[in-house]
Structure 1
Amino acid sequence: MSVKEQIEALRSELEQHNYNYYVLSAPTISDQEFDKKMKELQDLEAAHPEYYDPDSPTQRVGSDLSKEFEQVQHRYPMLSLGNTYSEEDVRDFYERTARSLNEPFEIVAELKYDGTSISLWYEKGRLVRAVTRGDGTKGDDVTANVKTIRSVPLRLRGNDYPEEVEIRGEVLLPWAEFDRLNKEREEQEEPLFANPRNAASGTLKQQNPAIVAARKLDAYLYYVLGEHLPADTHYGNLEAARRWGLKIPDVMKICHNLQDIFDYIHYWDTERKNLPVATDGIVLKVNSLRQQKNLGFTAKSPRWAIAYKFQAERAETRLNSVSFQVGRTGAITPVANLEPVLLAGTIVKRASLHNADIIEGLDLHIGDQVYVEKGGEIIPKIVGVNTEARTMMIGDKVRFITRCPECGTPLVRPEGEAAHYCPNDSGCPPQIKGRIEHFVTRRAMNINMGPETVEDLYEAGWVKNVADLYDLKITDLMSLERWAEKSARNLLNSLRESKSVPFERVLYALGIRYVGETVAKRLAMSFHSIDELMHASFEQLVAVDEIGDRIAQSVVTYFADERNRQIVERLRAQGLQMAVSEAVLANRSDRLKGLTFVISGTFSQHSRDEYKTMIEQHGGKNTGSVSGKTSYILAGENMGPAKLEKAAKLGVRIIHEDEFLKMIEE
């Protein structure tokens, strides 16, 4: 690969990671990996200026702009800080600052909180606006959401605050609330948040402030800006802000020399694990505002500050055993059972081992001392073994099982897949209960029951498959422990209401392997009824846009099983929707067939979701990012600047609401 190709590949990869992190709030790599790739690109660009590109990830601050909020210009740009994982870089920063100033100076050391950045504007002591960092020059106005955060004062205390003042900080989700929220989402089969930072970011982008209030966000503030500040030092202004009623962390320290800084870093590298919120490093700032001004800024960051990031948290503990869990699709997941250890603010007792290949690669033995990392993951993972700690008393080598731990059926491993499966889908209890739990979830049939109720009904013998749910009687339910007439009637009413759920959700609820919400909708709109889908051939299925061999074969296999067909017929007899409604079909057309749309901005005549539905109803396709395959961008107010620039580069046509509505009316 040539140097130019290396640069272009890195730019493309980093842009995607920027999008995952700032827009989707769903990063796929750690901060450390991202920073390493960014440094690699910076070095290549510095060595080869002939490949300069103003749109390179090295030339801009990543964006978290949401298209549903009003975008507001920052009075002072919110620049990012230079990052380092090296104490040597901290020393270089200190010595460079000393040379540049050539006079005594102080450094304020603070913890770097791992949340989402926020700017609070107060005028005459009143909170008038809260804005996200956005792209550094403008961000989203999330005032209504921030006002639900109890630690953010709506009015400042005292009377010595400036007429106008900006306070910057971090919106955070405490560990306890993060665990509670993810437990709720797991019960609803919603995607789990990867870490508190993403949960805080996703919460701030909610359109309903009531949801934000329920999630109990917090805000830690660390920077005061304005024209008439009470002190000429950063530390002094934060102490003043604390008097005004703002939540200023009490862990700041004025450092007079390099040893003070290293002492602070070493102390908090361990002690931060006992904090109620996530942290990922230390921030060092020159204390004097005059000296900050003299040091100035680079294009992206201040020269008077640097962020030192901690390594991904790792703990060493003993592997006591390995258990194997069976999911609703029959996939077997190995889980390491560990001696409890404190990691990233929580006690860890279990860690994911993923699959047989991972186990073999680690060469695990029962009793091994293993290294466990959380590093932004939902579930901790084992990343290595301390082989030097092995003794003659070490236990057996961990091997992947060959039979289902629940029903004893020999496992299978499909060609090209990493997972092992139990093929006994009709007789393996966890698979049966898992399919019922999936069927009743909010995004599927939205039936008012949780895993405990499914367990009770299964153990009582009332429900052995999803069709049995609709045969339940009030006497059946009241025979269960803790069930009263009111709760029984509520469940039966919920079952009755589920019969109006549209066909595409019924199809998703059946739990066919690889058929998620999007695939179910595409299949429903292509085949229109369960009968057409049941009789569709493999060739007809793969002819549908985005339906590959694996999905097609799974659908064919599902309907080839007589037991599944019987369940479908029982559900049909109970009145569930087994075809796309006439009203939806009447509005369908091929006017947008073959066209791909990207929706960006805010609209006045219809919501974004309504426009997505219209595009699909008329044969078009929705996608989230602009590419050479994009036919049109449907643009509303405040269209994202990145999409606008990319559209111009690729020659993608931009249309507005009125023009789009005419396209589907013709």
Structure 2
Amino acid sequence: MLPTEAKKKIDELTAELKQHNYNYYVLAMPTIADYDFDKQLAELAKLEQQFPEYAYPDSPTQRVGGEVTKEFVNVRHRWPMLSLGNTYNAQELLDFDQRVRKAIGDNLEYVCELKFDGLSMSLTYEGGKLVRAVTRGDGVRGDDVTTNIRTIHTIPKQLHTGNYPNLFEIRGEVFMHRKAFERLNNERIENGEIPYANPRNFASGTVKMQDSAEVARRPLDCFLYGLYTEKTLFKTHWESLEALKSWGFHVNNSSKLCKNIDEVLEFINHWDKERFTLSYDIDGIVIKVNNYSQQQELGFTAKSPRWAISYKYKAERVETELLAVTYQVGRTGAITPVANLQPVQLAGTTVKRATLHNANEIIRLDLHEGDSVFVEKGGEIIPKIISVNIDKRHQNAVAVEYITRCPACGAALQRKEGEAAHYCPNDEGCPPQIMGKMQHFIGRKAMDIEGLGGETIETLYEKGFIRHISDLYKLYEHADDLKQMERFGEKSITNMLAGIEKSKAQPFEKVLFGLGIRYVGETVAKKLALHFKNIDALASATYDQLIIAEEIGDRIARSIIDYFEAEEHRDEIEKLKKYGLQFVIEEKEVTLASEKLAGKTFIISGTFDKFSRDELKDIIEQNGGKILSSISAKLNYLVAGDNMGPSKLEKATKLNIPIISDDELMAMLG
């Protein structure tokens, strides 16, 4: 075969096999038999071996995935990934149009795009090669997930010829098609695994997996819709979308260039009906001013661009029958009522259950047994009942009454004044609470015990090996007994015991969070650890001593006091101390670089190009300065970056507090 013929054949086979991969993995709609696919793949591999100069870096013959990522590196976005303001009706959209035209005049166009229900992603290309993929994160910094994103068939790993710049960033949305979601979820159910609630959660969970080989087996897709460059290449957003298509990017073809707000409303109304015919979920429409110069003139608020807005569709609503109300017991003892429904299709998934939140919700709905109810799913993982169809209520229907005793252990439920939830007080004898506390303790944000999962906790509890958190640290005594259990191989037991031993090095704030004290979340645990330094000081703290700690209010203070008043909790902590867990904060010795900021107080707000806020905090403290938590007359300087909150700016201005940039801060340090 001549080289020119080989190149043509390689191009044809590559394109055809990529399409077949897309149909099979992403759309879950194969259009070719496996035998025929393998035959074409073998033909392509043979040609690439003979003519390697014509092989593409992202050829279907190349194995995708296989790397394992232990931690995702946090990366600063070159251009912040801001969120959009939301609008929910035509009048709010007309108001947006009026504000835009008042600022830039009537000579404008809008670009309307489908608002995909997925995970926002930023891709960086250098020399036409994908070099980095970063999640949205907090908008300023996100996680580097490049290895996983490379497995997505529709994202080019290497661009071919085109007039693209050497360095640019492109924004898009990673998502999963409904049919692929249903197929994978059915596989999880068959394997005894917990199914995902919706395609968005499945896509998000997949992108953050550590094994890219597993990611490659899961069918993700990605639409790209935003180009960012140092130098503006095009006059309009529409032109940039057309360019992205020509460079080989997967751009959604349903976008439309609109001459006025009436055309925008027509587009919105069209997709309100047609969105259910799509193979993927959308939850609205994004509207952008087309001209880049006009975008620049309109500028930004603290959180979002003034030249763009999203129109959110109303949640789909269906009617079905209430079969029964059951009750779940959470790890803190909170009892949550759940409506069990006649299965019904809603927003692309089969709905069997809906949350009822608490007793007040049952009263508000005036819920009766066998009621016909309206169910809505507006972005929530678990759908909710909106109202009851009274016209269909049976004449002798009995009102649903909230239970008075725990469905798991039979203890009389309690309800504290001012709280909506009922609680089971038997936290040391109620099985769901005991298992829930241990599952929380081993979690990634707490003790992060490798080799030990929620299902294993349930098995170990049911077999009688563990009854308290401290029992985890003497599981090594039962190593021989564990080997006799089903699905407990020698390697998995070794890994589990090693993970438990390793967890003893976790810092005090992680241990404190892991204890599961009601209202003490991850952030509050850090504040308490920093303030009290050790568990003994915290356990003996009075109410007045607790509420002067940062972010500790009445409810948290009383919960902490209640927790440490229980003798069984104090005994458990003593056992954990003996096993070597950390109950004292590791003090970091700050070596002063200078005392140029001694006696001065600062607050840092907004985003900065050269530093993260944590880096600025360290610089201030290393030079003798002090960071405050709120603006008051005691504050000396407000270090302000981009997108700073307007309320802070207003308060600082009223108090005549000097507002400085990060450059001015550096100048103070010489």
Tell me the TM-score normalised to structure 1 length.
0.64
Match of 2:491 among 483, 486, 489: 486
Deviation at 1:585, TM superposition (A): 7.5
Task: Please name the residue that 2:23 is paired with.
Answer: none
Letter of the 1:608 partner, please give it.
D
Match of 1:528 among 533, 537, 548: 533
Task: Please name the residue that 2:516 is paired with.
Answer: 511
Task: Please name the residue that 1:218 is paired with.
Answer: 222
Distance (whole Å) between structure 1 residues aligned to residue 604 and residue 261 of structure 2:
51
1:571-605 deviations in Å (ceiling 9; x for gaps): 2222222x425x6176699x999966336556989
Instruction: State how 1:158-197 maps to structure 2 within 5 Å.
Output: 170-174=172-176, 196=200
Task: Please name the residue that 1:566 is paired with.
Answer: 571
Match of 1:435 among 434, 437, 445: 437
User: Residue 470 of structure 2: SS of its match in structure 1?
Assistant: helix
Instruction: State how 1:265-664 maps to structure 2 within 5 Å.
Output: 268-273=271-276, 275-282=278-285, 309-388=312-391, 390-392=392-394, 395-448=397-450, 449-472=452-475, 473-577=478-582, 579-580=583-584, 584=587, 597-598=603-604, 601=607, 608=614, 611=617, 623=629, 627-628=631-632, 631=635, 639-642=641-644, 649=653, 651-652=657-658, 654=660
1:50-79 deviations in Å (ceiling 9; x for gaps): xxxxxxxxxxxxxxxxx96354599xxx99
Deviation at 1:610, TM superposition (A): 9.6
Judging changes above 3 Å, is the alpha-carbon distance between structure 1 residues 480 and 250 closer, same or farther for their aligned structure 2 residues? same
Judging changes above 3 Å, is the alpha-carbon distance between structure 1 residues 502 and 393 closer, same or farther for their aligned structure 2 residues? same
Distance (whole Å) between structure 1 residues aligned to residue 155 and residue 346 of structure 2:
29
Is residue 632–residue 655 contact of structure 1 (8 Å, CA) maintained in 2?
Answer: no
User: Residue 448 of structure 2: SS of its match in structure 1?
Assistant: coil
Judging changes above 3 Å, is the alpha-carbon distance between structure 1 residues 362 and 69 closer, same or farther for their aligned structure 2 residues? same
Judging changes above 3 Å, is the alpha-carbon distance between structure 1 residues 298 and 541 closer, same or farther for their aligned structure 2 residues? closer
User: Residue 584 of structure 1: SS of its match in structure 2?
Assistant: coil
Judging changes above 3 Å, is the alpha-carbon distance between structure 1 residues 394 and 476 closer, same or farther for their aligned structure 2 residues? farther
User: Residue 529 of structure 2: SS of its match in structure 1?
Assistant: helix
1:630-660 deviations in Å (ceiling 9; x for gaps): 836685xx93253696686352554869979
Deviation at 1:436, TM superposition (A): 1.1
Is residue 127–residue 153 contact of structure 1 (8 Å, CA) maintained in 2?
Answer: yes
1:591-633 deviations in Å (ceiling 9; x for gaps): 99996633655698998279479969x996665xx74478366
Distance (whole Å) between structure 1 residues aligned to residue 620 and residue 227 of structure 2:
46
Distance (whole Å) between structure 2 residues aligned to residue 165 and residue 312 of structure 1:
40
Distance (whole Å) between structure 2 residues aligned to residue 162 and residue 79 of structure 1:
27
Match of 2:89 among 85, 102, 107: 85
1:142-171 deviations in Å (ceiling 9; x for gaps): 997689464343555566x67899997642
Distance (whole Å) between structure 1 residues aligned to residue 659 and residue 92 of structure 2:
50
Deviation at 1:661, TM superposition (A): 14
Judging changes above 3 Å, is the alpha-carbon distance between structure 1 residues 660 and 547 closer, same or farther for their aligned structure 2 residues? farther
Deviation at 1:417, TM superposition (A): 0.6
Deviation at 1:252, TM superposition (A): 5.6
Deviation at 1:353, TM superposition (A): 1.0
User: Residue 447 of structure 2: SS of its match in structure 1?
Assistant: coil
Judging changes above 3 Å, is the alpha-carbon distance between structure 1 residues 594 and 330 closer, same or farther for their aligned structure 2 residues? farther
1:292-319 deviations in Å (ceiling 9; x for gaps): 999x998899999997652233232222
Judging changes above 3 Å, is the alpha-carbon distance between structure 1 residues 329 and 143 closer, same or farther for their aligned structure 2 residues? closer
Deviation at 1:210, TM superposition (A): 8.6
Judging changes above 3 Å, is the alpha-carbon distance between structure 1 residues 456 and 574 closer, same or farther for their aligned structure 2 residues? same
Letter of the 1:576 partner, please give it.
L
Distance (whole Å) between structure 1 residues aligned to residue 262 and residue 666 of structure 2:
64
Is residue 367–residue 395 contact of structure 1 (8 Å, CA) maintained in 2?
Answer: yes
Unaligned runs of 5+ in 1: 1-66, 98-105, 185-191
Deviation at 1:414, TM superposition (A): 0.2
Deviation at 1:409, TM superposition (A): 1.0
Is residue 173–residue 218 contact of structure 1 (8 Å, CA) maintained in 2?
Answer: yes
Letter of the 1:580 partner, please give it.
V
Instruction: State how 1:42-81 maps to structure 2 within 5 Å.
Output: 69=76, 71-72=78-79
Distance (whole Å) between structure 2 residues aligned to residue 69 and residue 506 of structure 1:
29
Judging changes above 3 Å, is the alpha-carbon distance between structure 1 residues 506 and 110 closer, same or farther for their aligned structure 2 residues? closer
1:239-298 deviations in Å (ceiling 9; x for gaps): 7754542213244689999999999756643442354543233568999x9xx999x998
Distance (whole Å) between structure 2 residues aligned to residue 470 and residue 72 of structure 1:
47
Letter of the 1:570 partner, please give it.
K
Letter of the 1:325 partner, please give it.
Q
Judging changes above 3 Å, is the alpha-carbon distance between structure 1 residues 588 and 415 closer, same or farther for their aligned structure 2 residues? farther
Deviation at 1:425, TM superposition (A): 1.1
User: Residue 219 of structure 1: SS of its match in structure 2?
Assistant: strand
Letter of the 2:370 partner, please give it.
G
Judging changes above 3 Å, is the alpha-carbon distance between structure 1 residues 565 and 262 closer, same or farther for their aligned structure 2 residues? closer
Deviation at 1:506, TM superposition (A): 2.0
Distance (whole Å) between structure 2 residues aligned to residue 608 and residue 346 of structure 1:
42
Is residue 447–residue 511 contact of structure 2 (8 Å, CA) maintained in 1?
Answer: yes
Letter of the 1:492 partner, please give it.
L
Judging changes above 3 Å, is the alpha-carbon distance between structure 1 residues 507 and 193 closer, same or farther for their aligned structure 2 residues? farther
Distance (whole Å) between structure 2 residues aligned to residue 309 and residue 285 of structure 1:
14
Is residue 409–residue 429 contact of structure 2 (8 Å, CA) maintained in 1?
Answer: yes
Distance (whole Å) between structure 2 residues aligned to residue 70 and residue 228 of structure 1:
20
Tell me the TM-score normalised to structure 2 length.
0.64
Distance (whole Å) between structure 1 residues aligned to residue 608 and residue 258 of structure 2:
48
Deviation at 1:427, TM superposition (A): 1.0
Distance (whole Å) between structure 2 residues aligned to residue 465 and residue 304 of structure 1:
55
Distance (whole Å) between structure 2 residues aligned to residue 607 and residue 394 of structure 1:
63
Is residue 119–residue 203 contact of structure 2 (8 Å, CA) maintained in 1?
Answer: no
Deviation at 1:471, TM superposition (A): 1.7
Distance (whole Å) between structure 1 residues aligned to residue 651 and residue 181 of structure 2:
38
Distance (whole Å) between structure 1 residues aligned to residue 442 and residue 85 of structure 2:
47
Judging changes above 3 Å, is the alpha-carbon distance between structure 1 residues 282 and 417 closer, same or farther for their aligned structure 2 residues? closer
Judging changes above 3 Å, is the alpha-carbon distance between structure 1 residues 297 and 303 closer, same or farther for their aligned structure 2 residues? farther
1:377-417 deviations in Å (ceiling 9; x for gaps): 333222222223x1436743222111111111111100111
Unaligned runs of 5+ in 2: 1-73, 102-108, 189-195
Deviation at 1:357, TM superposition (A): 0.8
Is residue 370–residue 394 contact of structure 2 (8 Å, CA) maintained in 1?
Answer: no
Is residue 169–residue 221 contact of structure 1 (8 Å, CA) maintained in 2?
Answer: yes
Task: Please name the residue that 1:46 is paired with.
Answer: none
Deviation at 1:474, TM superposition (A): 1.1
Deviation at 1:554, TM superposition (A): 2.2
Is residue 85–residue 310 contact of structure 2 (8 Å, CA) maintained in 1?
Answer: yes
